[in-house]
């Protein structure tokens, strides 16, 4: 088959990103313009500011991706873009840029589900990985245990009943004054602390062994902080970060392994921003090794938001014949498994 070159665009949250991907798994360029420094001032992503920054960056980022890949826009076979879930004003910038390019160049347009992209990040670095496999998706907005039955075809086994794992990291980081983005800051802080110092609860959801709940854990952390404040005690932030992180990592690992064993999967992958957490990677890798299961996880830069993963997912949608019309719209609350 002839080589297929896809330009992919991602703007669902606070990264403006574009990539050129060859035949699904070959990344020719992966340009990410992060707005993190801008949102740090406000302690979290400000949607209006995110949209404005995307507008400013989208064209230069696309140009850079094409230049780095040494690909002319006329040589592209398709344009893939994240159309949900995410912040509507942010998504619209990428979707409209992609539509304009598809129209002007007369190339097919492919709408990609953001989470399908996160899962696909695994295909980029693991050429041998093919569905079916089990996967834990952990990002700022999602915590799902899924079966990847085929490319872009998922069966959801468990999900969070309240906060997503990344959201819990961000909220706890804010509470202990580490700021935004919380995940990487807690990851770093935890390295200096004792994970056994504070016994935080590992929330279980009754009768749903594969579902998650993190709001109870978050409240336990806040209560711990309040008690310490009332009693005039100083809190060891590193111990707190390490203990909180352990509670999250343990529950993610236990549910994942129970599911993998029950279904007899021999391949297990992790995906999403929280999959860049060093303790989670080590814990899942260790548990998989003990269980004789092959473990896959993208390198950290492909775990957090990027366009290469959208290009990869877009390629498999392209092969299946999926084509979006120029009426493609941003869908902020697009569900996993929906198209």
Binding track, positions 300-319, relative to Zn ion; x by CB under 5 A: -----x--------------
The residue to which tokens 């209006």 are assigned: 48
- Decide: is 122 part of the binding site for ligand KG4 (CB under 6 A): no
- Give the residue with the Cβ less far from Zn ion, 139 or 256: 139
Binding track, positions 54-93, relative to ligand KG4; x by CB under 6 A: ----------------------------------------
Give least dist CB 202 to ligand KG4, A. Answer: 17
Q: Which stretch binds ligand KG4 (CB under 6 A): 91-99, 126-134, 179-187, 281-289?
A: 179-187
d(CA 89, CA 85): 11
Binding track, positions 145-174, relative to ligand KG4; x by CB under 6 A: ---------------------x--xx----
- Decide: is 94 part of the binding site for ligand KG4 (CB under 6 A): no
- Decide: is 181 part of the binding site for ligand KG4 (CB under 6 A): yes
Site for Zn ion in 83-142 (CB under 5 A): 139
- Decide: is 187 part of the binding site for ligand KG4 (CB under 6 A): yes
Question: How crowded is residue 285: how many other Cβ atoms within 10 Å of its Cβ?
Answer: 16
* DSSP string computed for 62-93: HHHHHHHHT--GGG-SEEEEEEESS-HHHHHH
6-40 burial, b if ≥16 CB within 10 A, otherwise e?
bbbbbbbbbbbbbbbbbebbbbbbbbbbbbeeebe
d(CA 228, CA 209): 33
# residues contacting Zn ion (CB under 5 A): 2
d(CA 256, CA 250): 10
Structure tokens at 68: 């780095």
Residues that bind ligand KG4 (CB under 6 A): 13, 118, 139-141, 166, 169-170, 181-184, 187, 272-274, 276-277, 304-305
């Amino acid at each position: 088959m002839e080589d297929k070159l896809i330009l992919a665009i991602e703007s669902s949250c606070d990264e403006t990103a574009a990539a050129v991907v060859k035949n699904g798994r070959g990344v020719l360029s992966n340009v990410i313009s992060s707005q993190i420094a801008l949102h740090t001032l406000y302690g979290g992503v400000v949607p209006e500011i995110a949209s404005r920054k995307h507008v400013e960056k989208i064209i230069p980022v696309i140009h850079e991706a094409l230049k780095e890949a040494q690909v002319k826009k006329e040589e592209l076979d398709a344009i893939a873009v994240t159309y949900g879930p995410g912040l509507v004003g942010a998504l619209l910038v990428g979707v409209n840029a992609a539509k304009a390019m598809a129209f002007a160049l007369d190339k097919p347009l492919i709408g990609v589900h953001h989470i399908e992209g996160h899962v696909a990040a695994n295909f980029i670095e693991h050429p041998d990985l093919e569905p079916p496999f089990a996967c834990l998706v952990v990002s700022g907005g999602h915590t799902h245990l899924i079966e990847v039955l085929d490319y872009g075809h998922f069966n959801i086994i468990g999900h969070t009943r309240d906060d997503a794992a990344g959201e819990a990291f961000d909220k706890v980081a804010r509470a202990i004054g580490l700021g935004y983005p919380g995940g990487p800051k807690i990851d770093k802080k935890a390295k200096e602390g004792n994970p056994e110092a504070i016994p935080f609860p590992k929330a279980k959801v009754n009768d749903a062994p594969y579902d998650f709940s993190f709001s109870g854990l978050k409240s336990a952390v806040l209560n711990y902080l309040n008690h310490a404040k009332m009693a005039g005690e100083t809190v060891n932030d590193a111990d707190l970060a390490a203990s909180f992180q352990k509670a999250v990592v343990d529950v993610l690992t236990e549910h994942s392994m129970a599911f993998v064993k029950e279904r007899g999967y021999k391949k297990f992958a992790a995906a999403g921003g929280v999959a860049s957490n060093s303790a989670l990677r080590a814990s899942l890798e260790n548990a998989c090794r003990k269980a004789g299961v092959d473990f896959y996880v993208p390198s950290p830069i492909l775990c957090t938001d990027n366009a290469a993963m959208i290009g990869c997912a877009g390629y498999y949608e392209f092969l299946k014949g999926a084509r979006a019309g120029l009426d493609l719209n941003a869908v902020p609350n697009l569900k996993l498994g929906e198209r």
